[in-house]
Structure 1
Amino acid sequence: MKFAIALFSAPHAPSSRRALAFAQAALAGGHEIVRLFFYQDGVYSASDNIVTPQDELDLPAQWRAFVSEHRLDGVVCIAAALRRGVLNPEEAARYQRPAVNLSAPWELSGLGQLHDAIQAADRLICFGGP
């Protein structure tokens, strides 16, 4: 089965841990992930600047390793990222901001990428949100 996964919640939320566990289980079960789409507070999971307390799971680092290891398509909503100060080098330069906190394997893009993923997948699985 082909899954598109959308994450709407911040890294410290239980739904973020569930999303990663689901994605890991899906691949372990022989399924395909056509795209991971981070939206709303989910964009924080792609930030390079999240510092996790020592007694907690470092979800941003785990997501980064998971996406890199499996060569997944990890997309961060550009509008949500800009609103929250999650910037790649191009957007930091464009808006004249001194800090860059988004790097590979993540790609900034728009909601059209979520739409395309939904069309390509058998199921859209969403985690978090209002």
Structure 2
Amino acid sequence: MKFVIALFSPPHSPAARRALRFAEAALAGGHEITRLFFYQDGVYSASANTVTAQDELDVATAWSRFVADNQLDGVVCIAAALRRGVLNAEEAQRYSRPAANLQARWDLSGLGQLHEATQLADRLVCFGGN
């Protein structure tokens, strides 16, 4: 089965941990993840500046490793990311910000990427949000 996974909640939320565990289980079960799409506060999971308490799971780093290790298509909504200060080098330069903080392996793009992936997948599974 082909899955698209959308995350709407920040990395310290239970939804972010559930999404990560679901994604791990999907791949372990022989399924395919055609795209990960982080939207709203979910974009914080793609920030290199997220710091987690020492006694908690570092979900942002775990997501980054998961995307890299499995060579997944990780997309962060550009509008949501800009509003929350999650920038790649190009956007940092465009908006005259001092630094980029989007972790490697993540791409900034629009909601069209979520729509396209949903059309090509068997299931869209969403975590978090209001």
Partner of 1:98: 98
Assess if the C-alpha contact under 8 Å between 2:74 and 2:107 holds in 1: yes
> Which stretches of structure 1, 4 residues or longer, exceed 4 Å deviation after superposition?
none
The residue identity in structure 1 corresponding to 2:88 is N
Partner of 2:116: 116
Q: Can you list the C-alpha shifts for 1:28-73, whole angstroms capped at 9, x where unaligned? A: 0000000000000000000000010100000010000000000000
- The aligned length equals 130
3-state SS of paired residue (2:97): coil
User: RMSD across aligned C-alpha pairs, in angstroms?
Assistant: 0.5
The CA deviation at 1:104 is 1.6
The residue identity in structure 1 corresponding to 2:37 is F
Partner of 1:8: 8
In structure 1, C-alpha distance between the alignment counterparts of 2:50 and 2:104, rounded to whole Å: 15
Assess if the C-alpha contact under 8 Å between 2:7 and 2:126 holds in 1: yes
* 1:82 pairs with 2:86: no
3-state SS of paired residue (1:63): helix
Partner of 2:26: 26
In structure 1, C-alpha distance between the alignment counterparts of 2:103 and 2:12, rounded to whole Å: 20
Aligned-pair identity in percent equals 75
**1:38-49 alignment runs, 5 A limit:** 38-49=38-49
3-state SS of paired residue (1:99): coil
In structure 2, C-alpha distance between the alignment counterparts of 1:119 and 1:80, rounded to whole Å: 22
Assess if the C-alpha contact under 8 Å between 2:64 and 2:103 holds in 1: no
3-state SS of paired residue (2:115): helix
In structure 1, C-alpha distance between the alignment counterparts of 2:127 and 2:103, rounded to whole Å: 23
The residue identity in structure 1 corresponding to 2:92 is A
Q: Which runs of 5+ in 1 are unaligned?
A: none
The residue identity in structure 2 corresponding to 1:109 is S
Q: TM-score, normalised by structure 2?
A: 0.99
Q: Which runs of 5+ in 2 are unaligned?
A: none
